[in-house]
Chains A and B, each alone.
Chain A
Amino acid sequence: MNTSPGTGAKCVVLFTVNGEAKKLFVHPMERLLDVLRNDLRLTGAKEGCGEGECGSCSILLDGMLVNSCLVPVAQASGASIVTIEGMSAHALMNPLQEAFLECGGAQCGICTPGMILAAVYLLEKKPEPAPADIREGLAGNLCRCTGYMQIFEAVSKAARRRVTK
């Protein structure tokens, strides 16, 4: 990326989002979350806390689950970004969506995109997670509505279905 000449200068940042190349002219310290939501109109990632605690702003940055509220956009230069909007074709999405519906894993839905991304990230690495793995995989995602058990159950159900298929 360009090194900006002085405080206040914008810079060009190139990255791909959900497979599409993007070129942005932004302040380098803008939070990736704000760029996704405001500039690119991808509002699946939510702002819960803005300080890394809640996981509702989760995205995949070069395949890694991260909190986009803590990523300055310039650090995403050259990266491949996937948001919940880009997940619809993923093989885990159907089983996860069905299981979340059946188990009552979503109520207000604010945490849901982050929960689903964290669950996908987990199941890609551990297709048959133990309950402790699910708790660890989702420990960075807070939910004010469900009480978590429904979410853990949904992830476990999705995993079982996928494995038996």
Chain B
Amino acid sequence: MRSDPAEYKLVSPGNLPAVLSLLAGEPAQWLPIAGGTDVMVLYSAGKLPNRKLINIWNILELRQIEVSPDRIRIGAACTYTALRRHDIVSREFPLLAMAASWTGGIANQNRGTLGGNIANASPAADSLPALLAYEAELTLISVRGERRVAYRNFHTGYKQTVLAADELIRDISLPRRFSGYLWYARKVGARNAQAISKVCLAALGQISDGTIRDVRLALGSVAPIPLRLNKTEHALTGKKIEPSLIDTARKMVVTEIQPIDDIRSTARYRAAVAGNLVAEFLERLATERKNA
């Protein structure tokens, strides 16, 4: 059943302090809406429990991308299109630019925001593995002040996060030290645009003298939250890439994930694909060694 607009409220204070004081004044009453590409889908289906919405699409502070010598700070309400068009994002953070290019069609990318993807906290969200791989840090803001949270600690369970009811994500900050890494991003779904992932991998690796110096593996859709594969990474670091190592990695990946059966796929399929994606990435890393 479609929602009746007369039963909903949407206010547009237009500046950050006013938004924050509304959020603080009646905690858990107000739902922020940025690009609306998650919120409006629920609303249209008559499934949006919140009756009071607060517009953050027009808050300019949340739409900026600031670049300093060692970090890039992405305002939470930056759209996928803004990310894809940004020179530094596309050159130094290809995992993120690639994920942005997968997120629905162009019209969706013109509205959907990175902060919305994070706060919506779907385990299938496409840009979240990239944020794990790049060691993102979030700035959360409320009338109580600002706090920084390492993105890897943001999700606490299925659709559960550390974001308090009076807080907004203000920005996503990434260290600029991964541009020399080999990157690998792959989404497996019915198709890339307009299809929710069955599995998606964001991976970074650095290799010298045939030995893995550093490796980052982050997967979507294989656990209640976006997952970094710490154990597998640890087992790979400092090792030479050989077929036996790739095999070990493939097996280890499966022990770290908790995939489920759902309408899009099965747990067995997801486990097999997750292992294969990691193996494919390692094979690429190995050829990188040969080329060098």
Contact B41 A51 (CB under 8 A): yes
Q: Which of A8, A50, A72, A118 has the most CB of B within 10 A?
A: A72
Q: CB of A27 within 8 A of chain B?
A: yes
| Residues in B whose Cβ lies below 8 Å from that of A58 | 107
Q: How far is the CB of A130 from chain B (nearest CB, A)?
A: 15
The residue that B111 contacts in the complex, of A30, A50, A71, with Cβ under 8 A, is A71
Q: What is the number of residues of chain A that contact chain B, defined by CB distance less than 8 Å?
A: 39
Contact A7 B194 (CB under 8 A): no
Q: CB of B51 within 8 A of chain A?
A: yes
Q: Given A7-B9, A7-B51, A30-B5 in contact, is the A55-B44 Cβ separation under 8 Å?
A: no
Contact A118 B106 (CB under 8 A): yes
- Listed stretches B32-40, B174-182, B241-249, B258-266; interface member: B32-40
Contact B193 A140 (CB under 8 A): yes
Contact A66 B110 (CB under 8 A): yes
Q: How far is the CB of A138 from chain B (nearest CB, A)?
A: 8
Contact A53 B5 (CB under 8 A): no
Interface size class of B (residues with CB under 8 A): 35 or more
Q: How far is the CB of B82 from chain A (nearest CB, A)?
A: 10
| Residues in B whose Cβ lies below 8 Å from that of A140 | 104-108, 193-194
> A72–B110 Cα gap in the complex (Å)?
15
> A53–B40 Cα gap in the complex (Å)?
12
Q: CB of A21 within 8 A of chain B?
A: no
| Residues in B whose Cβ lies below 8 Å from that of A122 | 106
Contact A52 B40 (CB under 8 A): yes
Q: Chain A's interface: helix, strand, loop or mixed, by majority?
A: loop
In the complex formed, the residue of A with least CB distance to B111 is A66
| Residues in B whose Cβ lies below 8 Å from that of A71 | 36, 40, 111
| Residues in A whose Cβ lies below 8 Å from that of B108 | 52, 67, 140
Contact A50 B193 (CB under 8 A): no
Q: Which of B9, B43, B194 has the most CB of A within 10 A?
A: B9
| Residues in A whose Cβ lies below 8 Å from that of B2 | 50
Q: CB of A1 within 8 A of chain B?
A: yes
Q: CB of B81 within 8 A of chain A?
A: yes
| Residues in A whose Cβ lies below 8 Å from that of B3 | 29
| Residues in A whose Cβ lies below 8 Å from that of B43 | 29
> A118–B107 Cα gap in the complex (Å)?
8
| Residues in A whose Cβ lies below 8 Å from that of B51 | 7
In the complex formed, the residue of B with least CB distance to A67 is B107
Residues from 16 to 30 in A contacting B, C-beta threshold 8 Å: 26-30
The residue that B8 contacts in the complex, of A7, A70, A137, with Cβ under 8 A, is A7
Q: CB of B10 within 8 A of chain A?
A: yes
Q: CB of B52 within 8 A of chain A?
A: yes
Contact A31 B111 (CB under 8 A): no
The residue that B40 contacts in the complex, of A55, A69, A137, with Cβ under 8 A, is A69
Q: Given A29-B10, A30-B5 in contact, is the A70-B37 Cβ separation under 8 Å?
A: yes
Q: CB of A148 within 8 A of chain B?
A: no
* In the complex, per-residue mask of B76-96: 1 if CB is within 8 Å of any chain A CB, else 0: 000001000000000000000
Residues from 24 to 63 in A contacting B, C-beta threshold 8 Å: 26-31, 50-53, 55, 58
Residues from 47 to 72 in B contacting A, C-beta threshold 8 Å: 51-53, 55, 57-58
The residue that B9 contacts in the complex, of A4, A50, A141, with Cβ under 8 A, is A4
Q: CB of A6 within 8 A of chain B?
A: yes
> A137–B109 Cα gap in the complex (Å)?
11
Q: How far is the CB of B264 from chain A (nearest CB, A)?
A: 15
Other than the given A118-B105, A140-B105, 9 more pairs (CB < 8 A) read A7-B52, A9-B9, A28-B5, A52-B37, A52-B108, A65-B110, A67-B108, A118-B106, A139-B106
6 A-B contacts, Cβ less than 8 Å apart? A8-B7, A50-B2, A66-B107, A69-B40, A75-B12, A118-B105
